[in-house]
Structure 1
Amino acid sequence: MTVAPEAEPAWYFEQVAELDFVPSVHVGGGWNPAEQHIAPAFGLLTHLIEQHRDQRRGRDLAIGRLSFDILGVLPMAPFRVELEVVRPGRTIELVEARIVHGARTAVIVRAWLLAAGDCARLAGSPLAAMPAPAELPAWEFASVWPGGFVRSVQARRREQAPGRCLFWVNTQTALLKGGQVSPTARLMGLIDIANGATPRVAPSQAAFPNLDLTAHLVRAPVGSWIGFDTSVSFGAAGVGLTHSVLHDIEGPLGVASQCLTVRPAAA
């Protein structure tokens, strides 16, 4: 009798206790598939911050900024999350969440939550909208990068030059097994992919991992596709920057920036 191979999971993380999680094969990173790609972890932390807010006070505060610091690599292993309100307030709060693996903190995020209100008559942006996903050619992140995460996304990209492109990404993989997450958490689970979308040089020529990611959002995304208008810059002293204007089907919704450490390959 032939035994059918076990199907791959359809999620990035499984929750095994209140704040304990296990990554699936889809979280494998681009620099090293034995380490987590940090993008899904950013989405998970965003979800937990929103869940923590809802349990404490409902949905009266919206996320305006999320600032992540990556303190070290995160192995493909179980981890736990810690949360605290750093600055409580009636209309503004600062919340911190941390991923802890063993005794080591691997990721810290601080989120500013702002009072939500009806500002529809004031809404607008001078930033130009991107071409729709169908207007850009299909592209495979896996043509450049290894790891489970990049294989879990669909992408459409138009590259103007190495370090400059427009692209859209989508995924059918759930952030959390058996759990619903907000559009904002889903967005944050994808946007760290920007640094690998238009490398200035091939990964064989230099490593350029990001140390952080800061996102400023003016609204929650709509639809399943997330658009990026991305530029990558390398400085002469080994510091780089990946900057993206974020879009959805209705237009621009925020920006994200990543600080890079650029390390040329040995000659």
Structure 2
Amino acid sequence: MSDCYYRRVGVDGQYQVFDSTDGTRSNWDPEIQHGSPPLALMTKLIEELAGDSGMRVGRLTLDILGAIPVARVRARAWIERPGARISLMVAEMSAIRPNGDWRTVARVTAWLLATSDTADAVTDRYPPLVEGESVQRAHALLGKQGYLETITWRRQHDSDQTGFVVWMSPLVPLVDSEPTTDLQRLAMVVDCANGAGAALDAERFVFMNTDTAVHLHRLPEGEDFAVRARGSIGPDGIGVTTAELFDRRGFIGTSAQTLLVQRRP
């Protein structure tokens, strides 16, 4: 198992340069990256850009613009819409084409909002989830090397019509031995909601997400996160996975993913 997702190489102008490790490899295709590591890396750049601005992330949206190779990548972040109370920040990741040109393969947009004291008005839509005993066979892709080796996957026995519950924890840092924030840890697993809430047999269908949108009414805490997810599949090869997100304290937000659904040959 890899000891991190990315190794820092250096700086190329406005870009930070990283080498992708085997831990980023997707369960769909070992030559491309799973969606969570790129989301987490670009989240890191956005958090660093935000610094001590007094604003925090309320929404993260990852758009996958092309196959993200397990190779050297570069990433940058900038402020798209500045503001004292509301700001839109963007990060993008690029990879090298066979002809040597760089191409943008993924982008994260983040709404950051000014924080204030609303402790007396806190409301949670759902009660906290308590982790119970896990099922013996966590998922149909056991034994796949790459990303799935870098997280624990604890599917719960009790699932109902509201969705399937899986608790997950990252096992490796994001970049080398650099500190990883709780928000980055959530980003390291949240793209898995598609697999957790799968409505199809992965041996018969491919259901790859093109995006992951995360809305957070509270910042995550800790290293353990649960998704209660369920996929909905349309009649024309397009689906959606929606999920509620939890940490040990309780409900923290929601996620949604658009799916391309295709039958395996």
Asked if TM exceeds 0.5, the reply is yes
Aligned-partner residue type, residue 72 of structure 2: P
Q: CA deviation at 1:136?
A: 3.7
Q: Is residue 40 of structure 2 the alignment partner of residue 38 of structure 1?
A: no
- Alignment gaps of 5+ in structure 2: 97-101
Corresponding residue SS for 1:121 = helix
Tell me which residue corresponds to 1:48: 45
- Alignment gaps of 5+ in structure 1: 1-7
Q: CA deviation at 1:140?
A: 3.7
Q: CA deviation at 1:192?
A: 0.4
2:84 to 67, 84, 90: 90
Aligned-partner residue type, residue 63 of structure 2: D
Tell me which residue corresponds to 2:20: 23
1:150 to 148, 152, 160: 148
Report the TM-score, using the length of structure 2 for normalisation: 0.90
- What percent identity do the matched residue pairs reach? 29
Q: Compute the RMSD of aligned alpha carbons.
A: 2.0
Would you say the 8 A contact 1:49–1:83 is kept in 2?
yes
Tell me which residue corresponds to 2:130: 131
Corresponding residue SS for 1:176 = coil
Aligned residues: 255
What CA distance in whole angstroms lies between the structure 2 residues aligned with 1:210 and 1:203?
13
Tell me which residue corresponds to 2:67: 73
Would you say the 8 A contact 1:66–1:214 is kept in 2?
yes
Corresponding residue SS for 1:126 = coil
User: CA distance change for structure 1 residues 88 and 20 in 2, over 3 Å: closer, same or farther?
Assistant: same
Q: CA deviation at 1:162?
A: 11
Would you say the 8 A contact 1:205–1:265 is kept in 2?
yes
What CA distance in whole angstroms lies between the structure 1 residues aligned with 2:84 and 2:161?
46
Tell me which residue corresponds to 2:180: 181
Corresponding residue SS for 1:112 = strand
What CA distance in whole angstroms lies between the structure 1 residues aligned with 2:260 and 2:205?
10
Tell me which residue corresponds to 2:55: 61
What CA distance in whole angstroms lies between the structure 2 residues aligned with 1:183 and 1:154?
16
Q: CA deviation at 1:189?
A: 1.4
* Regions of 4+ moved over 6 Å: none
Q: CA deviation at 1:165?
A: 0.8
Would you say the 8 A contact 1:162–1:200 is kept in 2?
no
Corresponding residue SS for 1:181 = coil
Report the TM-score, using the length of structure 1 for normalisation: 0.89
Q: CA deviation at 1:59?
A: 4.1
Corresponding residue SS for 2:193 = helix
What CA distance in whole angstroms lies between the structure 1 residues aligned with 2:53 and 2:182?
14
After superposition, the C-alpha distances for 1:114-138 in whole angstroms (9 at most, x for unaligned) are 0011211111213132222x44446
Would you say the 8 A contact 2:125–2:251 is kept in 1?
no
2:4 to 11, 15, 29: 11
Q: Which moved more, 1:245-254 or 1:122-131?
A: 122-131
Corresponding residue SS for 1:262 = strand
Q: CA deviation at 1:228?
A: 0.7
Aligned-partner residue type, residue 246 of structure 2: H
